[in-house]
Every structure is written in C-alpha cells, then in structure tokens.
C-alpha cells in the first residue's frame, strides 16, 4: 500500500506546489533556531537508542536507523515505472544489516546507479553529473546536493512538466495511530550548504527543501479507508525569506487525497542563511488535527476520522524546479511519538 502511495505522490503536477494556500491558521508550536541559540545542538547521539526520543517522556522513535549507518537502497528515475525496484545498495564504512532507508532520484536526467563512488576513512560520496549523496563517516551526517544547472538547459519561465528530486524515504512500522498520541515531534538539525542561482534571470522557479510525513486512514472498517494526507514542513525555499504554507488536493492521487504543508514561519525564528546550522523541534500533531477538517471542508478525505489515521512513512530532501545548485547536510532527524497517558 505504501509503495503504491509513494509512486502516486511523486507524480504530483506542478500546480500543486506553485499554488498559494489561502489557509491562515494560527502560527506557533515549535522552534527553529540556529543550533546553540536557546537550545542544545545535540541532545542525544543520533546513533543512540532507536526507540526512544531525545526529549524523553515515554516517546518512541518512528524512524529506524536515524544515524544512516546501515546504508541506502537506491531507487530509479521514474517512480511510476521503477517503483520499489532497488538498482543499487549503497554501502559504506562498517555498514551491517539491511538498509532501512531508500534514496529517491525521481525525474533526474542522470542516474546515481552509474555514478562515481569515492570513499576515505572519514567520508563516502556517490556523484553523477548533477547530484551528490555523501555521508560523513565520523558523525554520520548526510549531504544531499543537486546541481540543477545540468538538469535544465535554461531558466523555466513556465512551470516545468517534471523536475529532479533527491530524497531519502522510509516506511514506518505499524502502531503509530494518531488517536493514541499525546504529541508527535518532528525534529531535524540541518545546514543549507549552498543555494546558487543559475537561472540568469529574476524570473523562474525555486528549489525546495521539505519534509513530508505520510498520514493514512488504515482502519479497514472506515468508509475512508486508504485516504491519505500528505503532511509537510516546508523548511526552505531558495527564492523566499520563508517557505510558504500550502493546502490543496493531491492532483495525482485521487478524490480522497490532500496535501497540507506548514510554512517555515510557524517553526523557524528567522530566515535561513547558507552555511549555518539550524535546529527544528515541532509538534506536528495539532497541525494534523487542523488539516483533516480543512481537507474535508474542501471535499477530500471524506469518511475518515482522526482516530483512523496512522503514520505510515516519511521523506525529506530536495525538489528543484529551476536552475539552482543546492545542497543540504542533515545532522539529525527524528519523529518522536509520545502516547497518551
């Protein structure tokens, strides 16, 4: 079910991403500050206990292998055709066990399957003409880079029909029913390493670093069984001070599916600067509770109740809609699910 869902979602038409949201709900509920300002940059080693969140309080970690030590399964270029096919197992350092993460490179002109690998004592990298995947083998920081000047011959003055993605994704284990949660904290530390504008014009489109959590009606007795909410945190937009919020139908999915993305102003204290580390710790549960009735008010996700919804997976990374050369390093990533008392 989740693979079918994933395939559908990445065929989303550009209108979904470029249409402004008219929802104006209240901000607040999280922090997004430069690491070291107002909170500890490292509260827990990412390689620590996988089933406990760093904030404690009985929270469980939704994500497996948060430190990326087990490698990645590389997927293909076309989600609709390649689906879940693994074209390469990315292994590095002292990797043991099966990879828990997938690396998606949808709609790129180039294939990391044929990329150049390099490995030293401290760093692994896999590169093709436009993309870079790298892991710091001491801290297990993960770098994702797209040089889209090699993906687009010229600036896009109209929304492109397709665009390159470089994303990591993972399906979630059973059990994370939102009706049983007290909070669901999305936590990420990251650095935007570069954002170079190669468009040659002030017109055109942007590069987006965003994080999505798949929220699906998994109650087999629900009239809305199979409905999904594509819930996102729009972390960074290369053309704006703050990445904007968004809510609309998932045009590629079907009548029951909806996209709801929280804008960066709700969880960041200021605009993101390249080369500076930031930490986000944001409880997404209240926003999911807002998203469901909003979707239903527009005719989507009908027949689904909040207690029918479960977290089924996540992805984070780049979608690049124009000639931007971008890179991000992810230092820490987690989803802490705290059950109700």
Please say if the pLDDT value at position 57 is more than 90.
Answer: no
Across 12-23, average pLDDT: 35
51 pLDDT tier (thresholds 50, 70, 90):
low
95 pLDDT tier (thresholds 50, 70, 90):
confident
Q: Rounded to two decimals, what is the model's pTM? A: 0.86
pLDDT for res 79? 86
Please say if the pLDDT value at position 252 is more than 60.
Answer: no
256 pLDDT tier (thresholds 50, 70, 90):
low
Please report, rounded to a whole number, the percentage of residues in the chain having pLDDT higher than 90.
76
The predicted-structure confidence for 214-225, as pLDDT tens digits, reads as follows 999 999 999 999
2 pLDDT tier (thresholds 50, 70, 90):
very low
Look up residue 112 and give its DSSP letter.
G
Across 196-200, average pLDDT: 97
Across 283-312, average pLDDT: 96
- Kindly list the structural domains of the chain, giving each domain's residue range(s) and its CATH number in brackets, ordered by start: 2-339 (2.60.120)
pLDDT for res 34? 58
Single out the residue of 233, 294, 293 nearest to residue 265, CA to CA. Answer: 233
The encoded tokens of residue 22 equal 């008219």
pLDDT for res 116? 98
202 pLDDT tier (thresholds 50, 70, 90):
confident
Cα–Cα dist 279/305, whole Å: 32
The encoded tokens of residue 156 equal 């896009």
- 181's enclosing H/E stretch is strand 181-197
Please say if the pLDDT value at position 82 is more than 80.
Answer: yes
Average pLDDT, the chain: 86
Single out the residue of 45, 46, 131, 140 nearest to residue 93, CA to CA. Answer: 140
Cα–Cα dist 12/94, whole Å: 37
Across 54-81, average pLDDT: 89
The predicted-structure confidence for 106-142, as pLDDT tens digits, reads as follows 999 999 999 999 999 999 999 999 999 999 999 999 9
pLDDT for res 324? 98
Please say if the pLDDT value at position 41 is more than 90.
Answer: no
Q: Hey, is 16 helix, strand or coil?
A: helix
Instruction: DSSP for 46-108, please give it.
Output: TTS-TTS-TT-TT-EE--S-TT-TT-EEE--S-HHHHTT---EEE--TT--S---EEEE-TT-
The predicted-structure confidence for 97-108, as pLDDT tens digits, reads as follows 999 999 999 999
């Amino acid at each position: 079910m989740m693979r079918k869902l994933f395939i559908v979602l990445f065929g989303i038409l550009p209108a979904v991403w470029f249409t402004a949201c008219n929802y104006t709900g209240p901000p607040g509920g999280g922090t997004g500050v430069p690491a070291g300002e107002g909170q500890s940059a490292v509260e827990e080693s990412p390689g620590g206990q996988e089933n406990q969140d760093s904030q404690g309080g009985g929270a469980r970690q939704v994500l497996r292998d948060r430190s990326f030590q087990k490698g990645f399964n590389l997927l293909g270029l076309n989600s609709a055709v390649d689906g879940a096919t693994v074209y390469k197992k990315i292994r590095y350092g002292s990797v043991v066990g099966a990879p828990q993460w997938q690396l998606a490179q949808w709609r790129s002109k180039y294939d990391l399957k044929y990329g150049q690998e390099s490995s030293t004592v401290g760093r692994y990298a896999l590169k093709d003409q436009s993309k870079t995947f790298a892991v710091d083998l001491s801290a297990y920081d993960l770098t994702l880079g797209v040089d889209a000047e090699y993906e687009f011959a010229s600036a896009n003055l109209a929304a492109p029909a397709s665009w390159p993605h470089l994303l990591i994704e993972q399906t979630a284990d059973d059990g994370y029913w939102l009706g049983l949660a007290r909070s669901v904290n999305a936590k990420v530390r990251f650095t935007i390493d570069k954002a170079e504008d190669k468009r040659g014009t002030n017109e055109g489109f942007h590069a987006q670093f965003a994080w999505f959590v798949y929220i699906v009606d998994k109650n087999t007795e629900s009239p809305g069984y199979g409905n999904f909410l594509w819930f996102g945190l729009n972390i960074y937009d290369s053309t704006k001070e703050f990445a904007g919020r968004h809510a609309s139908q998932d045009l590629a999915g079907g009548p029951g599916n909806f996209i709801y993305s929280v804008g960066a102003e709700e969880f960041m204290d200021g605009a993101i600067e390249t080369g500076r580390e930031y930490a986000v710790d944001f409880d997404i549960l209240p926003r999911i509770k807002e998203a469901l009735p909003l979707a239903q008010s527009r005719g989507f996700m009908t027949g689904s109740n909040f207690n029918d919804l479960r977290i089924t997976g996540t992805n984070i990374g780049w979608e690049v809609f124009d000639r931007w050369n971008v890179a991000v390093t992810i230092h820490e990533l987690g989803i802490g699910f705290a059950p109700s008392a």
